[in-house]
Chains A and B, each alone.
Chain A
Amino acid sequence: MYNFKSFHFYFAEVAPSVAEVLDFLKSTDLEEEHPAVIFIRDILDELNYSTGIQGGYIIKNINELNVKSGFINIENTTLNIGRQICGYIKEAEKVALFLCTAGEEFTRMTNALNEQGDIMEAYLLDAIGSLSVENAMDKIQIELKQILHPDHFKISNRYSPGYCNWPLTDQKALFDLLGENSIGIALSESFLMTPRKSVSGIIGIGQQLKHHEYGCKICTNTTCIYRKILHE
C-alpha cells in the first residue's frame, strides 16, 4: 500500500531560463530589447516570490495490461490509455499516477494580462507556466527513479490523457484512482483541470521496462504545433 507523495518546489528551483523560454517559442532570434525578451526576464524575477509549483505521485499495482485492447486495469478501474502507450509500458508491473500544477496564481496572472489586452505577455507567461510544470515533473521523475533503483525497477517516460491517443475522458478514472491528494487539482465536467496550468498522467514501473523516446518523438501526430515548435 503506497501513499500519495507530494512535492513543493520554489519557483526558482524549476524556473526555465530566458533562453529556454525563447527556444521553446522558437524565438531565439529576438533582439535583447524586444518587449517579449524584456517581459520574460522581468516576470521570471517576479515569479521567484510566488508560491511555487506543487506535484506528486502515488504508486499502484497493475492488475492487467492489455496491449492489444489498449487498456490497463488498476484496482478494478480501467484506463483506456491506448495501444501506443500500452506498448511503451508493456513490461510494467506497477504505475505511478502523477499530478503537478503551477497553481491558481499563474491562471489569475495570465487572465489578468489577457483582460488588460497584454496578449503577448499572457502568452509568454503561459509558456513559462508549462515549462515550469514540466521541469518540476522532471525532478519528481528523477526522485522516483532514485527511490526505485535499489530494487532494480526502471521507470518509463510520462504519458498524459489527451495525448498519444489516450482519451481525455479518462481523466475521471485517473482522478478516482489518485484519490484524495494535497495538490488540490479539480476536474471540470469537460475533464479539464483547475488550476489550468496542471498536468496529470501515468509512469510505468518495471524491472524489465525498456526506454522509449519521450513526447513528440513518439507521437504519430505529425502536424501538432508542439512538434513543430520543439522538433522542426
Chain B
Amino acid sequence: MSSELLTKLSECVEFGKINLASPYPPQMKGLPGADEITKEALESGVTPGEILNDALISAMNKVGQKFSENKIFVPQMLLSAKAMGASMIHLKPFFANGSVQRKGVFILGTVFGDLHDIGKNLFGMMVEGAGWEVIDLGIDVKIEKFVEAVKQNPTAVVGISALLTTTMVNMKPVIEAIKAISPDTKVIVGGAPLSSDFAAQIGADGYGKNPQEGIVWLDKLTA
C-alpha cells in the first residue's frame, strides 16, 4: 500500500499533477494529485522521510535528468516543482520539529548587479526537492547579505548565480568575503555564461552546468 502511494506521488510530481482539481495531465484528470496523496500517505503511516526520499527526491531526479537531456523545458520543470511544493507543505511541520532530517542548509542568491532569477529559482527548487533546506536571498544580493547569511548558518553551503558576462565577475568578491569569515564554507556557482574554468579561477568549490550537475555535486558533500 505504502509503496503504491509513493509510486503514485512520484508520478504526480514527475508529470505535474498538483491536486485533485488540476485537469493536467489529461490521463490523471479526476484523480488525486500530489497534495491529496501526500495527506493520504501520512495518514496511512508512511513516514515523512519515506515520502521525501522515495517519492519526491526520486521524482525530481527524473525531472532534472529529463531537463538536462532537453526532453522537457522550463515550464514542465516548474509545473513539477509546483506539484512537489503541494506535497512539501504537508512535510513542513516534520522538518520544523526535527522528525525529518534534511541533508543540510543551502543559501542561494543571484549576485549583486544581476536581477535574473529563473536559473536561481529552478536550482533552488531542485535542491529543495533533493532534500535540502533552501534559504533564498533573492536577486541583486550584496556581499554583506551573503556574509550575514553564512554567519547565521555556519554549516550551510552557498550557491551564487549570474546570467551576464558583465555580472559574473561580481561573484569573486562574494566568494572571497565568504571564505574570509568561513574558510570551510563550500560555494557552488552557476549561470549560463559560466564555465568550470571560470568557477575555479574565482575560487568556487563547485560549478553546476545545469541543475542536475549541481545536485550531484551537493550530494557528494553529504556522502
Assembled-state Cα–Cα distance A228/B118 (Å): 14
Assembled-state Cα–Cα distance A167/B113 (Å): 10
Q: Given A162-B166, A168-B167, A188-B140 in contact, is the A26-B82 Cβ separation under 8 Å? A: no
B-contact 0/1 string along A162-195, CB 8 Å cutoff: 1101111000000000000000000010111000
B73:A192 contact, CB within 8 angstroms: no
Chain B nearest CB from A215 CB (Å) reads 14
Chain B nearest CB from A227 CB (Å) reads 8
B82:A163 contact, CB within 8 angstroms: no
A30, A31, A161, A223: the one contacting B193 at CB < 8 Å is: A223
A27, A35, A168, A196: the one contacting B164 at CB < 8 Å is: A168
Among the stretches A44-52, A60-68, A113-121, A204-212, the one at the interface with B is A113-121
A30, A188, A223: the one contacting B195 at CB < 8 Å is: A223
Question: Which of B75, B79, B81, B115 counts the most chain A CB atoms within 10 A?
Answer: B75
Residues in A neighbouring B115, C-beta threshold 8 A: 192, 196
Q: Given A34-B24, A225-B119, A225-B192 in contact, is the A120-B140 Cβ separation under 8 Å? A: no
Assembled-state Cα–Cα distance A191/B164 (Å): 14
Residues in A neighbouring B76, C-beta threshold 8 A: 27, 30, 36
A126 an interface residue at 8 Å Cβ cutoff?
yes
A36:B75 contact, CB within 8 angstroms: yes
B85 an interface residue at 8 Å Cβ cutoff?
yes
Chain A nearest CB from B75 CB (Å) reads 4
25 A-B residue pairs with CB within 8 Å: A25-B74, A25-B75, A27-B75, A117-B82, A118-B82, A119-B81, A119-B82, A119-B85, A119-B121, A119-B125, A120-B75, A120-B79, A120-B81, A123-B74, A162-B164, A165-B165, A168-B166, A190-B112, A190-B113, A191-B113, A196-B115, A221-B192, A223-B194, A224-B163, A225-B163
A sample of 13 more A-B contacts (CB under 8 A), given A25-B74, A120-B79, A225-B118, is: A27-B76, A33-B23, A35-B24, A36-B76, A117-B82, A118-B82, A124-B75, A126-B118, A162-B164, A162-B166, A188-B140, A221-B192, A223-B195
B residues bordering A, Cβ < 8 Å?
Answer: 16, 22-24, 26, 73-76, 78-79, 81-82, 85, 112-115, 118-119, 121, 125, 140, 142, 163-167, 192-195
